[in-house]
Structure 1
Amino acid sequence: MSNSLHSGATRRSLATPMLFEALDPALQVHLIRNAAVRHFEDGQLIQQRGDTADGFWLIEEGAVMVGQFLADGDFRAVALLGAGDSYGELAVFSGRPRIVDAVSRGPSRLRLIGARTFLEALGNYPASTRALLAALSEQLQETLALLAGLRRGTNSARMAGLLATMAGGMPGPASVAVTQQELADLLGITRATANAALGELQKRRLIERGYREIRIPDRDQLALASLD
């Protein structure tokens, strides 16, 4: 597996494990060895709604915004993924066209793991099948929790929870490479509302704002603010 996985500064916006992480290490190596490498520039479209699910993507370098293009051409992000993350597995399992668009955030390098290669190899790893079910259950639980969270809590509390998730599980200081517009998209709020929420967190000294970066002095204190 590439040494670049998990080495980037960009943190993802999801707390649940990616499905690829649940696979047996030997199966991961096999899939990566047989996967095509693709390079994308900043803003380049990686996949589009309606595309045939001919495989799923593993991010080796860079970051990817997953979401949907609206009728007016604007992109509404639902997740920010970084090195080591994967996406598109559900479309492979369902056999249906993709339902999300994906755009490269800065230069990126991904591997496209073919659907046929994946499904045929998975049959030789029954433990990985059970692990995938567990990972899917966690993702469903997070989705339900997210939907519930959209109906409660202040915008600053929701912003605190999102940033704490992106900061990772380790306590202490952290830095998250993300823009104000991306945070607004991920929370489903306007940029002005996101700016106000960030301002409230900064006023409480829970974050420090920089250019395309949010610095977090204490991740645990920020996580507590999400319960306000």
Structure 2
Amino acid sequence: MLCSALFGEHFAQCVRGDCTIRSNSEGTLGLLGVHGWLASEPEEFKRWAELSGKWRVYQPGQFLYFSGDPSDGIYGLESGSLEVTFPLVAEEPVVLHRAQVGFWVGDNGELSDTPRTISLMAATECRMLHLPRLAIRKLLADDPKHWQSFYRLATINTTVAVGLLAEALSLTLRARMCRRLLLLTDTSIDVTVTQEDLSKMLGVYRSTLRPILNKLAKSGAIELGYRRIRVIDRAILASFRDEQ
């Protein structure tokens, strides 16, 4: 699998402390109230998240955390996109996933009380809702029934990980790319991603991916632009999603 070159020897020079942090005094979940894990949780739990969460804004290239960091809670993506990476060989990271609105992360380290296993970077400007570790611990100590909500999140993320593995093992590159484009443009016809970014997500070289993208563009399925891809016909992409 092609490794990302985003991490250098100055790996730890993250400007995490410079992110904009705001209390959630407005008492709203934004798009997280209608997309993703939290949207389906009980009203009591959502109200707790509204009162306990803090909004954080990250600029492109900023890291939320690194693999090996201690857990400080969980994060929900309300706008923008995140790049999820895993250190594989000599701590050089592999891009695992490009997360979109409604994605929640951090449950693994938080529930198991172990260091982070992945690194998380803002691919574009991101608005995140942070549920702090201390608030989570107090909630669970006061009312253990809420463990089920967090385990539902863990199940969602495990399903995503297993699904990506199954795709990589059984589907053609065209099918995997079409699935990724459909996912990335679920809420918009445009995806702010370069061909290089897309090749890293799929674990191939850009030169391998380019002919497939060009054929899809000629078929009218997509339109290629500078640092973006526009989906024109989702039905064409969907017709290749199960290709083996």
TM tier, shorter chain?
0.7 to 0.9
CA contact (8 A) 1:63 1:83 kept: yes
Q: Match of 1:5, as an amino acid?
A: L
Instruction: Say which of 217, 227, 230 aligns to 1:215.
Output: 230
Q: 1:142 to 1:75 in 2, by over 3 A?
A: closer
Tell me whether 1:147 sits opposite 2:173 in the alignment: no
Q: Match of 1:198, as an amino acid?
A: L
Query: How big is the shift at 1:93?
Result: 0.5
Q: 1:190 to 1:74 in 2, by over 3 A?
A: farther
Q: 1:219 to 1:129 in 2, by over 3 A?
A: farther
Residue in structure 2 matched with residue 174 of structure 1 by the alignment = 189
Q: 1: distance between equivalents of 2:38 and 2:116? A: 18
Question: Structure 2: which 5+ runs fail to align?
Answer: 1-26
Per-residue CA deviation, residues 43-72 of structure 1 (Å, 9 max, x unaligned), is 112101111112111223332211136778
Per-residue CA deviation, residues 102-145 of structure 1 (Å, 9 max, x unaligned), is 1112333323211231243256373x544554554444344333
Residue in structure 2 matched with residue 9 of structure 1 by the alignment = none
Question: Structure 1: which 5+ runs fail to align?
Answer: 7-16
Instruction: Give the TM-score taking structure 2 as reference length.
Output: 0.73
CA contact (8 A) 2:37 2:102 kept: no
Tell me whether 1:67 sits opposite 2:67 in the alignment: no
- Paired residue secondary structure (1:5): helix
Residue in structure 1 matched with residue 41 of structure 2 by the alignment = 23
Q: 2: distance between equivalents of 1:120 and 1:54? A: 14
Instruction: Say which of 126, 130, 134 aligns to 1:108.
Output: 126
Q: Match of 1:190, as an amino acid?
A: Y
Query: How big is the shift at 1:3?
Result: 6.8
Residue in structure 2 matched with residue 77 of structure 1 by the alignment = 95
CA contact (8 A) 1:4 1:83 kept: no
CA contact (8 A) 1:20 1:85 kept: no
Residue in structure 2 matched with residue 124 of structure 1 by the alignment = 143
CA contact (8 A) 1:167 1:176 kept: yes
Q: Match of 2:58, as an amino acid?
A: F
- Paired residue secondary structure (1:65): strand
Q: 2: distance between equivalents of 1:73 and 1:129? A: 33
Q: 1:58 to 1:137 in 2, by over 3 A?
A: closer
Q: 2: distance between equivalents of 1:109 and 1:51? A: 21
Q: 1:58 to 1:186 in 2, by over 3 A?
A: same
* Cα RMSD (Å): 3.1
Q: 1: distance between equivalents of 2:162 and 2:102? A: 24
Residue in structure 1 matched with residue 11 of structure 2 by the alignment = none
Tell me whether 1:57 sits opposite 2:75 in the alignment: yes
Q: Of the two structures, which has the highest relative contact order with CA contacts closer than 8 Å and spacing of 6 or more?
A: 1
CA contact (8 A) 1:177 1:212 kept: yes
Residue in structure 1 matched with residue 4 of structure 2 by the alignment = none
Counting aligned pairs with the same residue, the percent is 23
Q: Match of 1:56, as an amino acid?
A: I
Query: How big is the shift at 1:34?
Result: 2.2
Query: How big is the shift at 1:159?
Result: 0.6
Query: How big is the shift at 1:33?
Result: 2.3
CA contact (8 A) 2:107 2:154 kept: no
Q: How many residues align?
A: 215
Residue in structure 2 matched with residue 5 of structure 1 by the alignment = 31
Q: Match of 1:111, as an amino acid?
A: L
Instruction: Give the TM-score taking structure 1 as reference length.
Output: 0.78
